[in-house]
């Protein structure tokens, strides 16, 4: 498989810092289309590296990256940790699992503490929307949002775009060109849209890349104003699936299935579970995505999740490491004195 971009980035994107002028990555909402494409393009080389036996460079050698996770996470934390280590950085994980007590001033104090330890990049996950921005305003180094409350999870949006572009190219429906986008594609995101930062980052990212986005959930889990964001809301999953080129299922938190939002898990599966039968309503080669971790048998059936030709769920995980490497590389270029980036 050829993962080299068909054109070099140099002649397709603005030079140096102009290609990505942000100090932090707090959300897809802050990015222009060409900046998204630039990060995807930069990730391609790391996809390649990650498939070699020796998955290591010294690009970020000597830099300290702190993964400050105020909310439990296994996959995202692991992905960021691997990304930092493969780039040669010193990676430190800080688990500060949140108690129910409001830890606000502690959050600012933590930011100031991390700053005083002279981190070169800080990756934040926090349970409150806007927490990453709050920390970014208080520190001197780049801050990457690894998920803040129900606001955004930008690297998830980017990795989904990368995985999707790769899969479309493999199917012969798209290309690996640095400027290839999703124009003409209909993508359905189904699940707990209301509480999902993954959904928000994906709506923004996929639309910026030209796709039309459908959202599907029961009314209680559909936020207001999604039409104003350009997305089309559905409550009937079959109707939403009709003609969709991609189906992205979201995880439904178990506490939401106990009667507050949804009567039961099996009732949710009855209305919104992606089964092999339901998938037939989508376009013939429709791709299936899920940000993980999956509730098999609830929002997605195992035989759909494991379909080799349609499910790109494991590719999403693979692209995640590459995307995070690209983000860490790009955001630290200024500090590393890379030509054109200071």
Partner 1 sequence: MKQARPLTITGGKLVTPGGVEAGALRMADGLIEAVGADVSARDGDEVIDAKGKLIAPGIVDFGVFAVDKPAFHFGGITRAALMPDQSPPLDYPSRVNYIAKSGKPDLWVHPLAAATRGLEGAELAEIALMRDAGARGVATGRKWIADSGVMLRLCQYAAMLGLVVVAHAEDSGIAGEAAATAGEVATRLGLPSAPAEAETLALARDIAIAEMSGARVHFRQVTTAAGFDLVRSAKARGVSVTCGITPAHFMLSDLATADFRTFTRLSPPLRSEADRQAARAAIADGTVDVILSGHDPRGPEDKRLPFADAAPGMAGAETLLAMVLGLVRDEVIDLGRAFDLLAANPARLLGVEAGALEVGREADVALIDPDAPWFVDRTKMEATADNTPFDRQGAQGRVRALIKGGVLVEL
- Least distance from partner 1 to the Cβ atom of residue 218, Å: 16
* Comparison of 63 and 193: residue with beta carbon closer to partner 1: 193
Q: Does residue 149 interact with partner 1 by CB under 8 A?
A: yes
CB distance 328 to 60 below 8 Å: yes
Return the H-helix or E-strand segment holding 155.
helix 154-171
Q: Does residue 42 interact with partner 1 by CB under 8 A?
A: no
Q: How many residues bind partner 1 (CB under 8 A)?
A: 26
- Least distance from partner 1 to the Cβ atom of residue 197, Å: 6
Residue of 249, 318, 47, 129 lying closest to 39 (CA atoms): 47
Taking CA atoms, 117 is separated from 57, 96, 105, 122, 284, in Å, by 24, 17, 18, 11, 53
Window 52-111: residues binding partner 1 (CB under 8 A): 102, 104-105, 107-108
* Secondary structure (3-state) at 221: helix
- Least distance from partner 1 to the Cβ atom of residue 134, Å: 6
- Least distance from partner 1 to the Cβ atom of residue 23, Å: 16
* Comparison of 151 and 165: residue with beta carbon closer to partner 1: 151
Q: Does residue 134 interact with partner 1 by CB under 8 A?
A: yes
- Least distance from partner 1 to the Cβ atom of residue 106, Å: 10
* Comparison of 53 and 224: residue with beta carbon closer to partner 1: 224
Residue 178 has which token pair?
A: 């640095």
Window 205-224: residues binding partner 1 (CB under 8 A): 223-224
The size of the chain, in residues, is: 342
From the list 58-66, 129-137, 176-184, 275-283, the region that binds partner 1 by CB under 8 A is 129-137
Burial zone of 245 (CB within 10 Å; 0-12 exposed, 13-18 middle, 19+ buried)? buried
Q: Does residue 112 interact with partner 1 by CB under 8 A?
A: no
Query: What dihedral do alpha carbons 134, 336, 156, 114 form, nearest 10°?
Result: -40
- Least distance from partner 1 to the Cβ atom of residue 235, Å: 17
* Comparison of 2 and 105: residue with beta carbon closer to partner 1: 105
* Secondary structure (3-state) at 301: coil
Full 3-state SS string of 255-277 = HHHCCCCCCCHHHHHHHHCECHH
Q: Find the distance separating the first CA and the last CA of the chain, reported in whole Å.
A: 36
The partner residues of 69 in beta bridges, in order of sequence, read: 95, 125
* Comparison of 15 and 220: residue with beta carbon closer to partner 1: 220
What's the rounded Cα separation, in Å, for the pair 286 and 148? 30
Among positions 35, 41, 148, 301, the unique one binding partner 1 when judged by CB under 8 A: 148
Q: Does residue 129 interact with partner 1 by CB under 8 A?
A: yes
Residue ranges in contact with partner 1 by CB under 8 A: 29, 102, 104-105, 107-108, 126, 128-131, 133-134, 148-152, 197, 200, 223-226, 228-229
């Amino acid at each position: 498989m050829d993962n080299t971009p068909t054109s070099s980035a140099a002649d397709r994107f603005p030079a140096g810092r102009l290609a990505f002028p942000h100090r932090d990555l707090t959300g897809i909402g802050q990015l222009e289309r060409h900046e998204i494409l630039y990060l995807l393009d930069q990730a391609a080389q790391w996809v390649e590296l990650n498939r070699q036996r020796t998955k290591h460079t010294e690009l970020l050698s000597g830099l300290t990256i702190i993964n400050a996770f105020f909310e439990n996470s296994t996959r995202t934390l692991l992905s960021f940790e691997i990304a930092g280590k493969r780039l040669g950085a010193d990676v430190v994980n800080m688990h500060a699992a949140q108690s129910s007590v409001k830890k606000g001033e502690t959050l600012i104090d933590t930011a100031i503490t991390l700053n005083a330890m002279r981190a070169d990049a800080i990756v934040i996950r926090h349970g409150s929307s806007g927490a990453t921005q709050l920390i970014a305003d208080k520190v001197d180094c780049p801050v990457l949002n690894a998920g803040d409350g129900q606001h955004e999870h930008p690297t998830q949006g980017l990795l989904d775009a990368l995985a999707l572009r790769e899969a479309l190219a493999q199917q012969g429906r798209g290309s690996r060109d640095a400027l290839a986008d999703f124009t003409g594609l209909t993508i359905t995101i189904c699940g707990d849209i209301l509480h999902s930062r993954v959904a928000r980052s994906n709506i923004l990212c996929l639309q910026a890349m030209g796709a039309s986005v459908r959202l599907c959930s029961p009314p209680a889990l559909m936020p207001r104003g999604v039409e104003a964001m350009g997305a089309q809301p559905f409550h009937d999953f079959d109707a939403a699936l009709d003609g969709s080129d991609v189906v992205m299922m979201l995880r439904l938190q178990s506490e939401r299935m106990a009667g507050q939002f949804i009567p039961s898990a099996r009732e949710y599966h009855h209305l919104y579970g992606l089964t092999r039968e339901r998938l037939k309503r989508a376009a013939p080669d429709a791709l299936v995505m899920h940000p993980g971790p999956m509730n098999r048998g609830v929002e997605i059936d195992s035989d759909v999740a494991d379909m080799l030709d349609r499910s790109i769920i494991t590719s999403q995980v693979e692209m995640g490491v590459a995307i995070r490497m690209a983000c860490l590389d790009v955001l630290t270029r200024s500090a590393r004195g890379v030509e054109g980036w200071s």
